[in-house]
């Protein structure tokens, strides 16, 4: 049986790893840029989707390695639980 070592050699190469890491960072940046568009909504619209301007602001300033959408959801749920 012949193994295809070309694929393994490429995926382990430092330049490949750098390229994959850079591509992921670009994806994270683009997602965050889209997320920040929520800041353009007025307070009434944000309230309709269950978040506050402050929560969106906090989430949008998190490091790119943190999923801002998930963190926004967590903050929103925590706030609503406090007022129940």
Can you give the pLDDT at residue 84?
Answer: 78
What residues does each domain of the chain span? 5-82
pTM check: above 0.75: no
The predicted structure's pLDDT at residue 13? 87
Cα-flanking dihedrals φ and ψ of residue 52, to 5°? -110, 160
- H-type helices in the chain, by residue range? 5-11, 14-35, 43-48, 53-60, 68-82
Q: What tens-digit pLDDT sequence spans the chain (84 residues)?
A: 555 555 555 677 889 999 999 999 999 999 999 999 999 999 999 999 999 999 999 999 999 989 999 999 999 999 999 987
């Amino acid at each position: 049986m012949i193994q295809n070592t070309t694929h393994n050699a490429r995926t382990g190469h430092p330049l490949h790893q750098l390229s994959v890491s850079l591509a992921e960072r670009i994806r994270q940046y683009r997602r965050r840029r889209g997320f920040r568009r929520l800041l353009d909504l007025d307070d009434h619209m944000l309230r309709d989707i269950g978040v506050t301007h402050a929560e969106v602001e906090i989430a949008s300033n998190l490091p790119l390695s943190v999923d801002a959408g998930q963190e926004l959801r967590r903050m929103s749920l925590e706030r609503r639980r406090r007022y129940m």
